[in-house]
Structures are given as structure tokens and as C-alpha cells.
Structure 1
Amino acid sequence: MSGTTIHLAVYDDFADWEPGYATSQLTQHGFTVRTVGLTTDPVTTMGGIRVQPDLTIDELTPEAIADSALLLLTGSTRWDTGDDLAPFAAKAGGFLAAGVPVAAICGATLGLARAGLLDDRDHTSAVSFYLAASGYQGGERYQEADAVTDGDLITAGPTEPIAFAREILGKLGVYEERKLDAWYRLFHDSDASAYAVLQGADEPAEGAADAATADSRGTS
């Protein structure tokens, strides 16, 4: 990985809450998010937010991929109802072949399964039979876990955007292991003691937890 650009795939009905934990941290640590659409026509998220793609998928040339840090694919009902998002799965294959990480959550994992990208990699999703319906050959590599990283591939189920972000932040080196664990405990478990670790201090004593909780509400 040599680049600092996060390429976020956007399409109508994409699950806009799924990438937010990751992208909000990445943009605070030197990365730039660029949205990628099938075209540059605006799309509307599942939450009703209108997004104007920065570039088209065809503009993700081998040179652009080589300069990327990550391709991020979110869920959408369109992964389940047709093949119009298949170009994103195919492009994910190009990223992985170039040694550039790919992160897929929710329905995007089905797209990767159909493209054969999960056949030889450990992965997870909503449930195993969701991917099995694709006819893919990777059932033995399915993991019952919130999120899974295997080499340059990160996968997660639809209810795990925080675990998904943890794997992305770890893969891209945003936090070292101790702070990454603290970040996860703070946002996933509401563990107030983790706030001090993120600020570079030792974990607070039990009596300081209330103050840390109040401060953590403003942490981004």
C-alpha cells in the first residue's frame, strides 16, 4: 500500500451507516475519501442522502489502483436483486491482484462471493447460507466472526460496522494494537476506561470512569 486515497463505492440504496466509523477516523489520520460510482450521476443512499460520485469505476485504472489505499464496498439491496453492481466486485479483484486492500460489508460480500474472490480466503458475512446461495466454492473458509481479515481482504456482517472499522483501521495502520483495542472498546462496548488509552495515557482508575465517559461523548 502506497496511497492515502480511500475509494468508497457508492450506488443507489447503499447502506450509508456502514462505512462511517471507518471513514471518519481515516479522514482524521491523513487519508482522503473519494466516492466511486458506475457513472458520475448522483446516487441516493438507503438513508435518503444524495451523493455525487467523485469519479467513475472506469477511472479506477491500474495506475489509480496502485495509488489507492483501500477499496471500500458497502451493502445494498441491489447486491441481492441483480448483477448491476458486479463491476464493483470485478474491480475488487483488480485491487486484490495489485496487493491493495479491499473491505466489504453486508451484501457486498455476496458480490465478492459471486466473483470467486472468497473461494480461497477466510471471510464472513451475515450468515453462511447467505453466501452459499451464490454457489461459490468458499464455504469451508467461512468464519463465524464479527469481521475477518485475510491478507488484503476484510469482510464483515451487516450488524458489525464498528468491528469492520476496527479491521480497516488496523490494516491501514491508523492505530497500533493497544490503541486499536481501546478504540473498539470505547465505541463498541462504551468502555470509558479506553478513552485515556486513545489519548496516550494509562487506563484511568475506576473512580475516573465518569469523567472519561463525559469526555468520550465528544471524541471522534
Structure 2
Amino acid sequence: MFTIYVYVLDTLADWELGHVTAELNSGRFFRAGAPRVSLKTVGASGEPVRTMGGLTIVPDCRVGDVAVSETSVLLLPGANTWNDPRHGAVLEKAGELLRAGAAVCAICGATAALAGLGLLDGRAHTSNGAGFLEMVSPGYQGQRFYRDEPSVADGNLITAGSTGALLWAKQIIGRLGVFEAGTLEAWYDYFRTGEAGHFFTLMGTLPPEHGN
């Protein structure tokens, strides 16, 4: 079973998590025999946080509860508050998880937080455009590993810019192997283009009992 830990913090960018959390939590397009997935929100404390969209989230657990295991997945969303020292604990946990072979998936401002700890210095990654990480993360030394793409997967590290959430979700789902390959491609094509043909292709990849 995979445990998906979603770090929540004030000013969390709501749109960046929508695709990946909805699909992993609902399992609506999972392949037969896919591993089970448990999704938990994680906070620096047990106090509620307020997202950029004005939603209140009460964390399910705290950073110390995150298991360092290859079956753990840490999702780090963008936010305007990553420079708050209280988030140091989850960034340290991210380093532990990467070293343990667990997936760490960061988008937008969270990539800058990882860059500030040097966690992007030796691995392919992306963010909010060339020059962004130098601007906001003093000490960043990963320029030669930067890729100007919406989302980049390098082993167990998956990073994205603020407009790369859909591809980021695809790469995370693909790493976990919970969709059939054809399902994942059709899902991505449908949400990327909005073309109805991709929706029918997507539904055609699912077993007949899926619609019952």
C-alpha cells in the first residue's frame, strides 16, 4: 500500500493538487490489482491551515508521523509561506525520503524550498522558469540540472512549475503504477485537450464492470 502524504500550509495553491489528489484518493481509474492508496494531510502542527482559495484544512497528522519508507509519497504544493521556518521539518523529512527511495513531488514554491536545502543541486528538475530558483533560493547550485519543462521526473524526485500540475499528476500516477498505461495516456490527453474522443478512449480502457 502507498501512503500519500500531502503537506498543507497557509496560502497553499489549491489548483496544483487537484488532479493528483482526486485520482489517487478516488481510485476511479485504477487498474485491476492496483496497490491500495491511503491519502493523509500533514501539517507543521495540528492547527488548521487556510488555502489560497480560502478553504480550511485540518491536518490528519504531523510531520513526525510521516513514515520513511519506499511506499511513502510526499506531495509538496506551492504556497506563499514556504520561507516560514516552521516548514524546515518537512523539508528535512523530504531529504530523508529521497535518500530512502521514496517519492518526493514538489511544485511551484515548494521547488524553491527544496532548492534552498540543496536537494535539487544534483538531479534533473524544473520550477517556475529559468532564473526563478536563483532569485528566491540563495545558495542554489543546480543550474546545469534545470530543465525548462512543465514537469520533470528524475527517479523518485518529481518537480513542476505552477502551470505544470497536470503533467506533474501524470508523472506521479505513472510512478505509482496504479493506472494501466493506456488509461494514463488517455486520461492525460483528455484533460490536456478537452477533446471528447479522448474521454471515450479513456472509458474504453476500463473493464466493463467499472461503470456498474
Deviates more, 1:187-196 or 1:141-150: 187-196
Whole-Å separation in 2 of the counterparts to 1:87 and 1:193: 45
> How far 1:58 sits from its partner (Å)?
1.8
Looking at structure 1, the residues matched to 2 and 107 of structure 2 have their Cα atoms a distance apart, in angstroms, of 21
Q: Which has the larger radius of gyration?
A: 1
Give the equivalent residue in structure 2 for 1:161: 165
Superposed structure 1 runs of 4+ greater than 4 Å apart = none
Q: Which residue of 1 aligns with 2:30?
A: none
Q: TM-score, normalised by structure 2?
A: 0.87
Partner of 2:119: 117
Distance 1:180 1:160 in 2: 16
TM (norm. structure 1) is 0.84
Aligned: 1:175 with 2:179: yes
Deviation per residue, 1:19-75 (Å, 9 max, x gap): 110011111224221010011111111111111111111222xxx221743100000
User: What is the percentage of aligned positions where both structures have the same residue?
Assistant: 42
Secondary structure of 2:14 counterpart:
coil
SS of residue in 2 equivalent to 1:132: helix
Q: Which amino acid aligns with 2:76?
A: L
What is the alpha-carbon distance in structure 1 between the residues aligned to residue 180 and residue 205 of structure 2?
Answer: 14
Select the structure with the greater relative contact order (CA < 8 A; seq sep ≥ 6).
2
Counterparts of 1:124-203 in structure 2 under 5 Å? Answer: 124-133=126-135, 134=137, 135-201=139-205
- Distance in 2 separating the partners of 1:46 and 1:57: 21
- Residue ranges of structure 1 left out of the alignment (5+ in a row): 203-218
Q: Secondary structure at the match of 2:11?
A: coil
2:69 to 66, 81, 85: 66
CA distance in 1, matches of 2:73, 2:202: 24
Deviation string, structure 1 residues 140-189 (Cα, Å, up to 9, x no partner)? 01001111000000001001211111111111112233221211110111
**Which runs of 5 or more structure 2 residues have no equivalent in the other structure?**
28-35
Question: Partner of 1:106 in structure 2?
Answer: 108
Contact 2:44 2:86 in 1 (8 A): no
Give the aligned CA root-mean-square deviation in angstroms: 1.8
Write the mapping of 1:83-94 to structure 2, written as runs, cut at 5 A: 83-94=85-96
- The number of equivalent residue pairs is 197
Superposition deviation, residue 82 in structure 1: 4.0
